[in-house]
Amino acid sequence: MTIYIVDLESIPTRYTCEWKIFLSKQIRDVGLDVEVISGPDDLPDNTTPGMFLNFSATNIYKSVQVEKFSRLFSEGRIKNGDYFLFTDAWHPGVINLKYMADLLGIKIKIGGLWHAGSYDPQDGLGRLIGDVPWVRNAEASMFYCYDDNFFATRFHSNMFFKNLFDVRNMFDNDETEAWINGHKPNGPTVHIVGWPMEYLKDTMAPYADIPKKNKIIFPHRIAPEKQIEIFRDLAVAMPEYEWFVAQDQTLTKDEYHTHMAESKLMFSASLQETLGIGAYEAALVGTMPILPNRLSYAEMWNQNVLYPSNWTKNWESYLSNKTQLIEFIKNIMEENNQDTIQTAHILADETGDRFFNGKALYEVIANPKA
């Protein structure tokens, strides 16, 4: 069996760069044969403002990937039992792949890692396109193309089913639950596996001993669902601390990690988060994440770092609860640095074991269901 990784284009500010380096190695390390199907290297490496990808470049990249795996079929290199892993499940090319495999009678397996889509009202597709037939039917078709649909968190899978299928009366709640981990005998399977990011421990280790400042970092994209206006208003209200927005500057990964490591707190008021890598990176370097008790955060993190969700559910609610949020932040900022560092490291260990390693993903790939 060969694992064909249909990868994501490499964008320096996103974790796609690290996946380009580490994902195939990590899968090989568990004893599997791997080939990577990439697109061209000469595409713009910037994202569409506020988004995860460059909307035009990503289609060039994916189109070249379709050509490459189509040629593998035409050359007779794809065999029964081979596994195709799409590191971005929102890939129209999976339909081309399914078309060839089924018509040629080659019994491959296909897995896809879901990051976002129109089913998430806070995602770019959800905000800009929404619930229109072409995009919702396209996502449903992709779901059915995959034998294995991978989600990092239960929060994400629940949102996927509720917004893509349930509201369209395609399934009821009991039936959606039946997809999880193969409890439904026919059709795709849904797996909650965390994300294959065990390399982050080694990546962040060199920054762990950087001395702390009275500094609070905002690591997110500057996009509406991240509510940066709340962070900027808090900065005005608490000028005794340094407030740093990572995307206000063009930073290298090394510069970003240094700013993260010298911060005492990392702050989020996100309205969209299906995993939350910035919070884990923070904890790895002893920076305390301060997170709303909602989204994937509520599933992943200890209650001690979660503030009540209604404090930042929108701008009006923030203004009503601003005094309480300021007090919450001040209490942590005034704690002894070594105490917060130690607590953050404990949190990193707890969350990392469950959500930032690929063990569950590799187990599914190595042992696909019949």
Residue 132: CATH number of its domain: 3.40.50.2000
Which residue ranges of the chain lie beneath pLDDT 70?
Answer: 12-15, 44-53, 166-179, 181-185, 370
Q: Are residues 182 and 216 in the same domain?
A: no
Q: Are residues 209 and 149 in the same domain?
A: no
Q: Are residues 147 and 40 in the same domain?
A: yes
- Structurally, the chain folds into a number of domains equal to 2
Give me the helices (H) in the chain, please: 16-29, 57-74, 93-104, 124-128, 133-145, 154-160, 173-178, 200-204, 228-237, 253-262, 277-284, 295-300, 315-333, 337-355, 359-366
The pLDDT, as a whole number, for residue 182 is: 63
Q: Are residues 173 and 216 in the same domain?
A: no
Task: State pLDDT tens for residues 94-141.
Answer: 999 999 999 999 999 999 999 999 999 888 788 888 888 899 999 999
Contact 106, 80 (CB under 8 A): yes
The pLDDT, as a whole number, for residue 53 is: 59
The pLDDT, as a whole number, for residue 216 is: 98
Q: Are residues 193 and 222 in the same domain?
A: no
CA angle 39, 40, 42 (to 5 degrees): 150
Task: State pLDDT tens for residues 227-252.
Answer: 999 999 999 999 999 999 999 998 98
Q: Are residues 293 and 158 in the same domain?
A: no
Give CA–CA dist 120/159, Å, rounded. Answer: 7
Q: Are residues 270 and 184 in the same domain?
A: no
Q: Are residues 178 and 226 in the same domain?
A: no
Q: Are residues 193 and 248 in the same domain?
A: no
Q: Are residues 9 and 125 in the same domain?
A: yes
Q: Collapse the DSSP code of 3 into the 3-class scheme (helix H, G, I; strand E, B; otherwise coil) and give the result.
A: strand
Give CA–CA dist 17/8, Å, rounded. Answer: 9
The pLDDT, as a whole number, for residue 128 is: 85
The pLDDT, as a whole number, for residue 161 is: 87
**Domain limits for position 215:** 200-354
Give CA–CA dist 117/88, Å, rounded. Answer: 11
Q: Are residues 194 and 284 in the same domain?
A: no
Q: Are residues 268 and 318 in the same domain?
A: yes
The pLDDT, as a whole number, for residue 215 is: 98
The pLDDT, as a whole number, for residue 318 is: 98
